[in-house]
Amino acid sequence: MQSKRVERPGGSLLFESGPHTLRPTTTAGYAGLELIRQLDFEKEILWVSSDSTASKNRYVKYDGRLVLLRPPKRFVMDSYLFTEPLLRKAIGGVLKFVIKRPSRPAGLEDESVASWFRRRFNKHIAQYFVSALMHGVYAGDYERLSMRSTFLKVLWDMETAGKRFMKAPLEEDLLAAELKMGMGLELLRKASDSRMYSFKDGTESLSRRLREKLEGKVTIRTDSPVQSIKLEDDQIKVRTGLQSHSFSHIVSTIPLPHLFRALPNPPEDLVSSFPPAVTVAVVNLYYPGGSIIMPIHGFGYLIPKTEEGNPENALGVIIVSDGIQGQDTGKYESGVKLTVMLGGHYWRGRTSYPSDDELLTAAKSVVARDLGITAEPTVNLVTLQRDCIPQYEVGHWERIQKLDGYLDATFGRERVKIVGSAVDGVGVNDCILSARRMSKRMEELARIEEMLE
């Protein structure tokens, strides 16, 4: 999370260079709201109503056009489904999924998201809808990402169970119910009425608030890179550039390449099996109120990998000013804010990246072609997020199993664990839920050790 307030004469702008919004009504979303409540941070939330334009209108670029995705009208014949080529060509795939009994080739333990959707729906849905979605969530290649390990895992599990449709697992339902019970009626009501939310000072303000609340209760050290993790005298010794500390258990949230450099002789085949995280350029643009006319309104649009005419390697554009209201001040409250995302899997294997000026030029080229905006933004911010999103490529589940096995064999069972975006979901709420589960597990292990003493 990275939020920056840019002060200008007459007011200020809030630019996000990481996640712009959080979703409230998933199990992970409820875990995020639980944390917000524990931090006494609810008053800082800016909600986006489910009825808002940003919640309802989302677009995909198809054949050079921005196509609105919306659910079909109920109880009436919706001509839009049959006149819009992007949607019309998807109908057959949806019918195939509904009618055909789920089956999977024998021995298939994982496959790419692209392969699964071609098999269960059709090529068109995979190429345009799913490819775009993977750009929005992972900045990744749908031909490489794992069906078994991404957030689409629920569909893989349905197929495993031989079902077309399936309720959430009982364990997840119980956890969601537990989290909602602790939220309070007012917070739960606001969450239920909203599609997404942020904070007055951006998503990064949540991590700043967490640090404020923890200071004085736990030791927080920054600018202290972990150099080695070793087992000595049945204690796990963690050495930084300044000093060493010994622990009975540790939980790592650092990126896997950094962790591998600190671990004692991790197997080379294990280290090399993990694909590199992708690098994304985030370009924020601001246009004064009345200086441009937006051809569309909504959350924004995504660009599939299969869409031609994308020399800038753009992933999508967020129309920030149509969504979150209340982050900007003064004369900047009425303008248009856009965020252009570039790179991701397109830059796989690169050792150098475009300059800030080149990225700004690329972003302006994208909005000129797609939105017809040729005016110059009066404020901009260019951020290159290096190695920012881990890639859950095919076989991710097996790589994590092998990593856990190596850690158990090296340090003892469940004494070194990993949470965070590298293993169990790349979203902010995913990481919060993963950390919550790990803290509960650490409590269980502590109780077990006390009983055995």
pLDDT of residue 185: 86
pLDDT of residue 220: 86
pLDDT of residue 105: 85
Select from 3.40.640.10, 3.90.1150.180, 3.50.50.60, 3.40.50.300 the CATH code of 221-275+393-452.
Answer: 3.50.50.60
pLDDT of residue 75: 45
pLDDT of residue 261: 93
pLDDT of residue 166: 60
User: Do residues 310 and 303 lie in contact, with contact meaning Cβ atoms separated by under 8 Å?
Assistant: yes
pLDDT of residue 10: 92
Give the start-to-end residue ranges of the domains of the chain: 221-275+393-452
d(CA 59, CA 66): 6
Q: What global pTM score does this model have?
A: 0.90
Per-residue pLDDT of the chain (453 residues; tens, 9 = 90+): 899 999 999 999 999 999 999 999 888 999 999 999 999 999 999 999 998 999 889 999 999 999 999 766 654 567 788 888 899 899 899 889 888 887 888 889 999 999 999 999 999 999 999 999 999 999 999 999 999 999 998 888 888 877 766 666 677 778 888 888 878 888 899 999 999 999 999 999 999 999 999 988 888 888 888 999 999 988 999 999 878 899 989 999 989 999 999 999 899 999 999 999 999 999 999 999 889 999 999 999 999 999 999 999 999 999 999 999 999 999 999 999 999 999 999 999 898 999 999 999 999 999 999 999 999 999 999 999 999 999 999 999 999 999 999 999 999 888 999 998 998 899 999 999 999 999 888 888 778 777 776
